Chain A
Amino acid sequence: MDEIIVIALSALTSIAILMLTSLGLAVIFGLMRIVNMAHGEFLMIGAFTTTVAVRAAGFPIWLAILCAPLVCALVGVFVELAFIRPLYRRRLIDTLLVTSGLSLILYQIAINVFGTSPPGIGTPGGFVEIGSYTVSHYSLFLPAVTVLITVLLYALFKSTRYGLLARAASDNPDMASVLGVEVRRVNLSTFVLGCALAGLGGGLISPMVAVSPGVGQSYVGQAFMTVVTGGPAFLLGTLSASTLLGGIANIVSQLFTTLWGLTALLVTAIVLVRLLPGGLSANWSRQL
């Protein structure tokens, strides 16, 4: 019984991590259709911001985590203006190549600044005991905060002026502009929001993983597969895909090993692409 609870909790944490590392991409790629290959580096920047804020500046962990989206948002503004904006009307492959280049540049800068395996920060909070097992508070906190962020984002896109304009600008930019939407400004905000979300994701997972310059690249592949299998409903679809893929990957890893868990994630995602090319949410009546 205890074992089942522990397995379930662990799966929940994995799902949360997958969702947190995919959310920024869900906004930038899922909603805006910008192929941002540098998504992983935004996760990495977020994770490093938190680590540095805790270790060097002595910030409390929660404040350090909140710094991560701010730093990423600033980087995001620069990236949008310098690289993404000139490419809005170009072929998607061009965006893909430029953001890949950006990813490499940011990766190398991180290596130059932090080295290949910088020291990390410990998991904050204590532990709970479930039978003979211990589970950290933080790993329980992650799913809760993931749900909170998703709910807030849903409300933002569903009920605010900005959210409506952002969705309209992505759905049909010409028509939105004719109705009075300043599409460029809205797109900048949405891109920056996506970067900030990636930063927040990176900051939140930083106590749970080994933070290195390559940390983003180990998540970006999964993040893309999650958003692609999620389909057009960029928030709830991504959440469903995270649940399915993260759940399967985690349970298989616990039963066998991490290797088989990742393999299961990959195989499930590929099978889903074949069976449902439009993604899990292709036929939903809510595209959010």
Chain B
Amino acid sequence: MTLAAWMRTIARRGLLWPLVVVVAVLALSPLLSTATELKWTLWLSFGILALSLTLVWGVAGIFSFGQNAFFGIGGYAFAVAAFNFFPATGETLSALILGACVAALFTALLGYVTFYGRVGDVYLAIVTLSVTLILYTVMSSTAGPEYRIGAAHLGGFNGMPSVPGIAFGNGELSYRELFTFAVCLAGMIYALVQFLITGRYGEILAGLRENEVRMELLGYDVRFHKLGVFVIGGAIAGIGGALFTAWGTFINPAIFSLPQAALVVIWVMVGGRGSLLGAFFGVIAVQWISDQADKIVAQQTPLILGIMLVVMVLAFPGGIVPALTARLQQLHLRLAPGKDTTASTSPSPSATATDNAQTRSSNALASRGSLAALGVGKSFGGSVVLEDVTLEFGQHHMHAIVGPNGAGKSTLFGLLSGRHKVSRGRVKLNGIDVTGTPIHERARRGLGIKLQVPSIFHGLTVRQNISLALTAPRKHRQRPPSEATVLETVGLLEKRDSLAANLSHGEQQWLEIGMLIAQNPPVMLFDEPAAGMTQQERKRTLELIRRLSTDHTVVVVEHDMAFVRALDAPVVMLYQGGVFRQGSFDDLSSDSEVRRIYLGRGADATHS
């Protein structure tokens, strides 16, 4: 690759800025006083900590309230390792790496428990903070001489003084050298995170933040990805902690305190939750304010932090977060259209274009699958909602499931999609038993799902939405179609750079169908696709579903009988949690029992 090409990549991924800043700061560093350098080194270590929360919370949407704990663990691990390694090797770089590893290991354990235990978002915040506060007490009780790891004494409440600083083998770095090291380290970490979130991984993280359910339905293992980014965040915080310890040659349990935990959140909120540079700005702004405040009234940091936190949350009635996302979205809109203008000269969706798309997709995709429920039943608490339902889909192109409200349609849908666990019976997908298989694994094996309320990534553009579906992990044989095919088929080519949130209700429904087409699974399951649509929109949706049914097995659960009639497919009718009738639409609508259930005609002559 040529230098010019490198530069382009660097610019495209937003790496130019930090590079310029790093070079500028290093060039100016001879002009700085030692005190300034010291202060900035501290802020850089805090900035790295803030950056880790920006990644975990701002980018991936996981609110961790214990990021300072991982920072502290990194700091302690560095101190312990430095005491033991430095006398022997004269370097502490390995201790820094070890600090990151220990912090990563700790986050991995904590993340495994919380994400795989599927505890809710708020519980994660509570668990991480509780763990942090308990660590404070634990580390404070290590004063006894027996708490010694090799040459390092943990020191209880007073912590560990005289920790060796950063050293490469020929003595500890001077303040100036440490500052240079910190600038480079922060720059590298920044570049790494920036690189991660602008690429394919960034798309996955944005997907996690925007809509976990859809991510699972696309086949992404949400638990695994959440754990992954949590651990990366932990490792980064650990490096920050190691730098912090090396800066002050000192660490104590105060790092695990509530003020410290709150401080990290405040930095990120002030700097802007989704902005990487904001992490550093937040640190600088908040630290500067508290330094200034300290000059007026000394030693009141917790009070100032507390007031900042309360005011920030209460002053934004809609939440600070939406306010920030709104700004972020504007940023997106400004940047996104310029990204790929070269490919945007395609014609507006015409009959020919759609037909082409269709033939192309027919050739590429043709293969149907099968989906079967074998004697499935479901109880919630004491009530049996579904009982002994046996159904097989696949011998036809399209199937419809109907039934009055409360017949068990949504429960059956939940069992087929994997949202609910069956109480009895088995579910088979393409002949393979998937009864205990999680949602994302069913998706990978070829089950596409369209939910009733459009489940899309509201904060992402149409193309990003489709892209997440196109590149989703898959185990079924059908290859994904091209992005253009998908956009043409659902008629969103013109709007491909719009934010999904700005689409009309009908367009959002089609975008979701577009994601299904992109997944290209053998079996597609639709939950009330016509709900809340205008007549016009219903017609288009009907056409879309019909077209898809030429080369996929399509199952539609629908309440609206007019829509079902138009589908012209074999119908299964559920009633009272069981299969009541199966047959053609005309058979069913002329069946007196069915009419009785829907209309009550002649059900009980004495009443009318």
Complex Cα gap A106–B302 (Å): 9
Contact B306 A277 (CB under 8 A): no
Spot the interface stretch: B1-9, B108-116, B413-421: B108-116
Could you say which of B134, B147, B302, B313 contacts A104, with CB atoms under 8 Å apart?
B302
Across-interface contacts of A40 in B (CB, < 8 A): 258
Task: Please provide the chain B residues from 244 to 265 with a CB less than 8 Å away from any CB of chain A in the complex.
Answer: 257-259, 261-262, 265
Name A's interface SS: helix
Q: How far is the CB of B324 from chain A (nearest CB, A)?
A: 13
Interface centre among B134, B257, B261, by most chain A C-beta atoms within 10 angstroms, is B134
Across-interface contacts of A107 in B (CB, < 8 A): 258-259, 302, 306
A100-B258, A104-B259 in contact; A109/B126 too (CB < 8 A)? no
Q: How many A-B contacts are there with CB distance less than 8 Å? A: 147
Spot the interface stretch: B17-25, B138-146, B343-351, B371-379: B138-146
Contact B314 A98 (CB under 8 A): yes
Instruction: Determine if B199 is an interface residue (Cβ-Cβ < 8 Å).
Output: no
Across-interface contacts of A244 in B (CB, < 8 A): none
A96-B125, A262-B134, A277-B117 in contact; A108/B319 too (CB < 8 A)? no
Complex Cα gap A97–B319 (Å): 11
Instruction: Determine if B309 is an interface residue (Cβ-Cβ < 8 Å).
Output: yes
Contact B113 A273 (CB under 8 A): yes
Q: A65-91 toward B: CB 8 Å interface, digit per residue (1/0)?
A: 000000000000000000100100011
Instruction: Determine if A159 is an interface residue (Cβ-Cβ < 8 Å).
Output: no
Who on chain B is nearest to A270 by CB? B113
Task: Please provide the chain B residues from 294 to 313 with a CB less than 8 Å away from any CB of chain A in the complex.
Answer: 300-303, 305-310, 312-313
Across-interface contacts of A94 in B (CB, < 8 A): 313, 319
Across-interface contacts of A217 in B (CB, < 8 A): 133, 136, 257-258
Complex Cα gap A17–B37 (Å): 48
Contact B123 A104 (CB under 8 A): no
Contact A273 B127 (CB under 8 A): yes
Instruction: Determine if A265 is an interface residue (Cβ-Cβ < 8 Å).
Output: yes
Q: How far is the CB of B127 from chain A (nearest CB, A)?
A: 7
Complex Cα gap A22–B453 (Å): 40
Interface centre among A97, A109, A214, A224, by most chain B C-beta atoms within 10 angstroms, is A97
Contact B319 A277 (CB under 8 A): no
Could you say which of B65, B129, B144, B309 contacts A101, with CB atoms under 8 Å apart?
B309
Contact B63 A83 (CB under 8 A): no
Q: How far is the CB of B363 from chain A (nearest CB, A)?
A: 47
Contact B313 A259 (CB under 8 A): no
Instruction: Determine if A53 is an interface residue (Cβ-Cβ < 8 Å).
Output: no
Interface residues on A, range: 35 or more
Instruction: Determine if A136 is an interface residue (Cβ-Cβ < 8 Å).
Output: no
Instruction: Determine if B132 is an interface residue (Cβ-Cβ < 8 Å).
Output: yes
Q: How far is the CB of A267 from chain B (nearest CB, A)?
A: 10
Contact B302 A105 (CB under 8 A): yes
Contact B114 A101 (CB under 8 A): no
Across-interface contacts of A270 in B (CB, < 8 A): 109-110, 113, 127, 131
Complex Cα gap A228–B114 (Å): 12
Contact B310 A98 (CB under 8 A): yes
Complex Cα gap A80–B121 (Å): 24
Could you say which of B63, B141, B258, B301 contacts A259, with CB atoms under 8 Å apart?
B141
Q: How far is the CB of B31 from chain A (nearest CB, A)?
A: 37
Instruction: Determine if A166 is an interface residue (Cβ-Cβ < 8 Å).
Output: no
Contact A222 B130 (CB under 8 A): yes
Contact A98 B126 (CB under 8 A): no
Across-interface contacts of A35 in B (CB, < 8 A): 122, 125-126
Complex Cα gap A100–B265 (Å): 11
Contact A101 B118 (CB under 8 A): no
Task: Please provide the chain A residues from 32 to 73 with a CB less than 8 Å away from any CB of chain B in the complex.
Answer: 35, 37, 40
Q: How far is the CB of B131 from chain A (nearest CB, A)?
A: 6
Across-interface contacts of B313 in A (CB, < 8 A): 94, 97-98, 101
Who on chain A is nearest to B66 by CB? A221
Complex Cα gap A217–B147 (Å): 23
Instruction: Determine if A102 is an interface residue (Cβ-Cβ < 8 Å).
Output: yes
Instruction: Determine if A266 is an interface residue (Cβ-Cβ < 8 Å).
Output: yes
Interface centre among B109, B119, B308, by most chain A C-beta atoms within 10 angstroms, is B119
Contact A91 B319 (CB under 8 A): yes
Contact A97 B129 (CB under 8 A): no
Across-interface contacts of B130 in A (CB, < 8 A): 220-222, 224-225, 228, 269
Contact B136 A218 (CB under 8 A): yes
A83-B310, A228-B126 in contact; A266/B134 too (CB < 8 A)? yes
Q: How far is the CB of A118 from chain B (nearest CB, A)?
A: 16
Contact A225 B307 (CB under 8 A): no
Contact A105 B310 (CB under 8 A): yes
Complex Cα gap A217–B63 (Å): 21
Who on chain B is nearest to A214 by CB? B257
A108-B306, A218-B137, A259-B141 in contact; A96/B65 too (CB < 8 A)? yes
Contact A92 B122 (CB under 8 A): yes
A96-B122, A100-B258, A262-B137 in contact; A108/B300 too (CB < 8 A)? yes
Complex Cα gap A265–B130 (Å): 12
Could you say which of B118, B127, B137 contacts A228, with CB atoms under 8 Å apart?
B127
Complex Cα gap A277–B309 (Å): 30
Complex Cα gap A220–B136 (Å): 11
Across-interface contacts of B113 in A (CB, < 8 A): 270-271, 273-274
Contact B306 A102 (CB under 8 A): yes
Q: How far is the CB of B222 from chain A (nearest CB, A)?
A: 15
Q: A242-275 toward B: CB 8 Å interface, digit per residue (1/0)?
A: 0000000000000001110011011001110111
A224-B126, A228-B123 in contact; A101/B138 too (CB < 8 A)? no
Who on chain B is nearest to A220 by CB? B133
A93-B122, A109-B303, A224-B126 in contact; A104/B138 too (CB < 8 A)? no
Across-interface contacts of A100 in B (CB, < 8 A): 65, 258, 261-262, 265, 306, 309
Contact B133 A218 (CB under 8 A): yes
Complex Cα gap A270–B112 (Å): 10
Contact B133 A97 (CB under 8 A): no
Contact B136 A222 (CB under 8 A): no
Could you say which of A96, A105, A225 contacts B303, with CB atoms under 8 Å apart?
A105
Instruction: Determine if A14 is an interface residue (Cβ-Cβ < 8 Å).
Output: no
Complex Cα gap A115–B502 (Å): 55
Across-interface contacts of A37 in B (CB, < 8 A): 129, 258
Contact B147 A259 (CB under 8 A): yes
Could you say which of A86, A92, A111, A220 contacts B314, with CB atoms under 8 Å apart?
A86
Contact A101 B308 (CB under 8 A): yes
Q: How far is the CB of A248 from chain B (nearest CB, A)?
A: 14
Across-interface contacts of B300 in A (CB, < 8 A): 108, 112
A90-B319, A96-B125, A228-B126 in contact; A104/B262 too (CB < 8 A)? yes
Across-interface contacts of A220 in B (CB, < 8 A): 130, 133, 258
Who on chain A is nearest to B154 by CB? A259
Contact A262 B306 (CB under 8 A): no
Q: How far is the CB of A277 from chain B (nearest CB, A)?
A: 4
Complex Cα gap A103–B263 (Å): 13
Q: B92-125 toward A: CB 8 Å interface, digit per residue (1/0)?
A: 0000000000000000011011101111011101
List of 6 A-B pairs having minimum Cβ-Cβ separation, nearest first: A101-B309, A221-B133, A104-B306, A105-B306, A108-B303, A101-B310
What is B's interface to A at a CB cutoff of 8 Å? 63, 65, 109-110, 112-114, 116-119, 121-123, 125-127, 129-134, 136-138, 140-142, 144, 146-147, 257-259, 261-262, 265, 300-303, 305-310, 312-314, 319
17 CB-based A-B contacts, threshold 8 Å: A92-B122, A96-B65, A100-B65, A101-B308, A104-B262, A104-B303, A104-B306, A108-B306, A220-B258, A222-B130, A228-B123, A228-B126, A259-B141, A262-B138, A262-B141, A266-B131, A270-B127
Known A90-B319, A108-B303; 4 more pairs at CB < 8 Å = A86-B314, A105-B306, A218-B133, A277-B117
